[in-house]
Amino acid sequence: MMIKYDCSNLHSRIIGEEHGLNLEAKFDEYSSSIKEIINDIKIEKNFENSSLNWINFYNEKENLKSIKEYAKRVEGKFENIFVIGLSAPLYGARAIFTAITGPYWNHLDREKRGNKPQIYFLNNIDPDNVTALFQMTDLKRTLVVVVSKYGQTPETTALFMYAKKMLEYEIGENYPLHILTCCNSGSILAQISKEEGYFTFDYPENINGRLGTLSHCGLLPLVLAGIDIDELLEGAGEMTEHLLNDNLQENIAAQDALIHYLAYTEKQKTISVLLPYSDRLKWFPDLYVQLSAECLSVKHDANGKIIQGGQMSVHTNEIVDQKTLMQLFIEGPNDKIIDILQVEKPIRDCQIPELFNYTGIGYLGGKSLTQLINADIIALTSVLSDNYRPCTITSLPEISPFYIGNLLTFFFMKTIISAKLYNAIPFNSSEHISDYFFALMGQHGYEETARELKEKLAQRKTVIL
């Protein structure tokens, strides 16, 4: 059994011809295109340095052995792990970690954590957050893990430099034992690691940084937290084999990618709202938003034609945002698809006590919170269809490493198929702000850009509002 996908609330029979799709007709129309796309993916995944190399990760066990050995060697030595990096692999690692351990892992005492460390993901350079974390933590019991393929992302580099200084101050000459890096062997970070004596894992050149969650570098924080990555990869592997099926009727990632593509190109649904009904899945939308933005929001297609296309994906927070944003979903512009993430069977359920039967709230007594969530989902999808608003439901049978591996692969493959439908080059993103950033921060070679920017900023000051 794998995750399930329900797109019935996008059918024109349910929400009308103006906003819905005749799914049978569209699946027939695009079946040959999807077959061609899937077969292209099967070929490209074996090319050297292909952005699709990630599809083979679940079969690559050798590199996993090295991170397991390292985790065994440092087991019990560290109370805290700081994971520094802004890359998608760590967005994926954070999503997996929270899903499997739960949102309150770092609040549990060590015994309840199975003697595993607390894990903190540092992917923001907010100084209040960074300094507070370092001040509240015993750095003598802390390992800093820096994941950066080329070691040149300024935000990651800044956090690494700050961490190095703080560890050196607190620990002294043995501080290198508290830093672990994962980077390309030819990078600046690898050079520093060798000079300073940090333990280092090589970030292979043939791994696309944005899809490296299932590589040994992306899985490293999860191994340190004691998560069963073998079961995770088993789930990813089974879903991968399922999603390499070139029959559109049997491939849920291809169906989801096609539906969103057609909703965007034919029905002007420019926004995809991802709504997780589980706190354990709260970080998956962040991962997908990053993947889809870098994959689908492109100015030119693969042939150089200007398209400036791509559906915008946004993240919401289940029932809280459902209640507050309902007015927008129902009565605002009909330019959205609501994509629901559901867990059918929670790890533990909670029954509502039978109280206050003499009042108008007594009807809730004796029911479970899962029943309440399911009722919310049914009510939401029903009112959306009543108002001709499309939505989909992706369901996990339960939360486990296996099904989280399913879900991660579903998001990755959906993104790649979507890019093929748009004829976009996946993850061929541009660094739009880098020149100005480097100029502002005094990077050598950007003096002329700094001068031009200074003139532009001075000109803005003359604008009277």
pLDDT in tens, 189-212: 999 999 999 999 998 776 665 677
Cα→Cα distances 9→172, 255, 276, 313, 382, Å: 61, 13, 17, 19, 9
Q: Please report which confidence band the pLDDT of residue 27 belongs to, taking 50, 70 and 90 as the band edges.
A: very high
Q: State the average pLDDT over residues 89-101.
A: 91
| Region of 299 on the Ramachandran plot (φ > 0 left; ψ -120 to 50 alpha; else beta) | alpha
Q: Is 449 domain-assigned?
A: no
Shared-domain flag, residues 294 and 395: yes
Summarised one tens digit per residue, pLDDT across range 318-349 is 556 666 788 888 889 999 999 999 999 999 99
Per-chain mean pLDDT for the chain: 88
Domain that holds residue 399: 4-43+233-422
Relative to beta strand 199-202, strand 298-300 is unpaired
Output the pLDDT for position 136. Answer: 94
List, in sequence order, every residue forming a beta bridge with 393; answer none if it has no partner.
Answer: 6, 340
Select from 251, 269, 352, 303 the least CA-distant residue to 3: 251
Examine the fold and report which residue of 179, 204, 230 is the final residue of a domain before the chain moves on.
Answer: 230
| Distance separating alpha carbons of residues 373 and 34, to the nearest angstrom | 35
Shared-domain flag, residues 145 and 288: no
Q: Is 444 domain-assigned?
A: no
Q: What are phi and psi of 356, to 5 degrees?
A: 55, 40
Q: CB under 8 Å to 227, separation ≥6 — which residues?
A: 96, 97, 100, 101, 401
Output the pLDDT for position 88. Answer: 66
Cα→Cα distances 13→269, 330, 364, Å: 18, 19, 34
Q: Is 339 domain-assigned?
A: yes
Output the pLDDT for position 335. Answer: 95
Examine the fold and report which residue of 230, 260, 277 is the final residue of a domain before the chain moves on.
Answer: 230
Output the pLDDT for position 51. Answer: 74
Q: Is 319 domain-assigned?
A: yes
Shared-domain flag, residues 114 and 14: no
Output the pLDDT for position 70. Answer: 94
Q: Is 435 domain-assigned?
A: no
Q: Residue 105, class by beta-carbon neighbours within 10 Å (0-12 exposed, 13-18 middle, 19+ buried)? A: middle
CATH number of domain containing 279: 3.40.50.10490
Output the pLDDT for position 199. Answer: 95
Shared-domain flag, residues 65 and 206: yes
Shared-domain flag, residues 160 and 283: no
Shared-domain flag, residues 189 and 296: no
Q: Is 348 domain-assigned?
A: yes
pTM over cut 0.85? yes
Output the pLDDT for position 301. Answer: 59
Summarised one tens digit per residue, pLDDT across range 41-88 is 999 888 877 778 788 887 777 778 999 999 999 999 999 999 998 776
Q: Is 461 domain-assigned?
A: no
Q: Is 63 domain-assigned?
A: yes
Domain count, the chain: 2
Shared-domain flag, residues 81 and 143: yes
Shared-domain flag, residues 277 and 250: yes
Examine the fold and report which residue of 211, 230, 249 is the final residue of a domain before the chain moves on.
Answer: 230
pLDDT at 155 over 80: yes
Shared-domain flag, residues 124 and 266: no
Shared-domain flag, residues 238 and 183: no
Output the pLDDT for position 423. Answer: 85
Output the pLDDT for position 464. Answer: 55
Summarised one tens digit per residue, pLDDT across range 110-151 is 999 999 999 999 988 899 999 999 999 999 999 999 998 877
Shared-domain flag, residues 80 and 208: yes
Shared-domain flag, residues 288 and 317: yes
Output the pLDDT for position 429. Answer: 57
